[in-house]
């Protein structure tokens, strides 16, 4: 079974239920050792991956700040649901795009895609329970934008998507959990804990491959990371950083010192 073709089909699928089925199929084939990781498949840029017509995508700045009303909390749940949907696509793109990597690279990112699809379902099921569903509110496209911008090099992708954008989730989740704990949407505390625990593993995977690639290319990890931050983000990363969670995700002491110095 051609891993890259299957990953591309799942990536470009617009229907959420069908996308999840295709991710499940890819994950099952991985578990059954039925995938060929050394096959060939044409790689092309993907400006817009498969997604449903809704949510309507708008600029981040045009999304109103969410208040502490019930609807504000529901919109926050929807925003996290959208992040998890995008995260399915970014993991699939990592599988499809970066050919000629070790087999374990593809196994890692198929696992990430599968877990992100589980997170999406947890959140969307809760939205349905509350009388809403994914697509009911506007969303922004920041996570995919960075995925598309780093399609030229696996090192840039590993540096900036798991280690910056996904790691921000590790920084933000405990604070978001506190907000939900003192609301009528307390169920979100447990859902966020499941996501948080898995995301530590996802960031750890990004760290593993980033360091492996730096070693392979004789690059200093801090210097390479800093150059990519300046190139793609244009400013220093902003804290506060969840140092304990980042330690669990295998950020080195030097990297944590670099972040804290910012």
Residue 12 domain boundaries? 3-261
Residue 229 contacts residue 167 (beta carbons within 8 Å): no
Rounded Cα–Cα distance for residues 218 and 241 (Å) = 28
- pLDDT for 63 equals 65
Q: How far is CA 31 from CA 34, 161, 257, in A?
A: 8, 25, 38
What is the DSSP code (8-state) at residue 94?
Answer: H
Confidence (pLDDT) at 61:
60
Per-residue model confidence (pLDDT) at position 148: 92
As a whole number of angstroms, the distance between CA 4 and CA 21 comes to 16
Q: What pTM, to 2 d.p., does this model score?
A: 0.95
> What pLDDT, on the 0 to 100 scale, is given for residue 239?
87
Rounded distance between C-alpha atoms, residue 26 and residue 30, angstroms: 6
Residue 11 and residue 96 in contact, taking contact as beta carbons nearer than 8 Å: yes
Question: How far is the C-alpha of 117 from the C-alpha of 18, rounded, in Å?
Answer: 11
pLDDT at 209: 98
List, run by run, the mean pLDDT of 10-residue segments along the chain (262 residues).
Answer: 96 98 98 94 93 86 70 95 96 96 98 98 98 94 88 97 96 96 96 98 98 98 96 90 97 94 83
Kindly report the CATH number assigned to the domain that includes residue 63.
Answer: 1.20.1260.10
Give the model confidence (pLDDT) of 203-219 as tens digits.
999 999 999 999 999 99
Number of structural domains found in the chain: 1
For the beta carbon of residue 94, count every other beta carbon within 10 angstroms: 30
Say which residue the tokens 């690279």 belong to.
Answer: 105
For residue 60, what pLDDT is reported? 65
């Amino acid at each position: 079974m051609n891993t890259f073709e299957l990953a591309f089909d799942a990536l470009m699928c617009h229907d959420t239920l069908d996308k999840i089925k295709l991710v499940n199929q890819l994950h099952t084939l991985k578990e059954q050792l039925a995938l060929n990781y050394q096959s060939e498949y044409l790689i092309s840029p993907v400006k817009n991956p498969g997604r449903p017509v809704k949510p309507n995508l708008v600029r981040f700045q045009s999304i109103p700040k969410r208040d502490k009303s019930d609807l504000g909390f529901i919109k926050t749940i929807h925003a996290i649901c959208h992040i998890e949907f995008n995260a399915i696509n970014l993991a699939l793109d990592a599988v499809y795009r970066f050919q000629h990597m070790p087999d374990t690279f593809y196994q890692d990112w198929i696992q990430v895609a599968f877990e992100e699809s589980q997170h999406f379902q947890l959140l969307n099921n809760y939205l349905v329970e509350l009388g809403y569903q994914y697509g009911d509110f506007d969303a922004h496209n920041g996570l995919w934008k960075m995925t598309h911008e780093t399609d030229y090099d696996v090192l840039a992708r590993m540096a900036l998507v798991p280690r910056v954008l996904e790691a921000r989730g590790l920084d933000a989740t405990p604070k978001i959990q506190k907000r939900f704990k003192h609301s009528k949407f307390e169920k979100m505390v447990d859902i966020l804990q499941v996501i948080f625990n898995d995301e530590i593993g996802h960031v750890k995977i990004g760290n593993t491959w980033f360091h492996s690639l730096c070693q392979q290319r004789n690059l200093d990890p801090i210097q390479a990371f800093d150059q990519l931050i300046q190139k793609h983000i244009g400013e220093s990363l902003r804290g506060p950083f969840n140092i304990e969670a980042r330690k669990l995700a295998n950020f080195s002491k030097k990297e944590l010192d670099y972040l804290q110095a910012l």
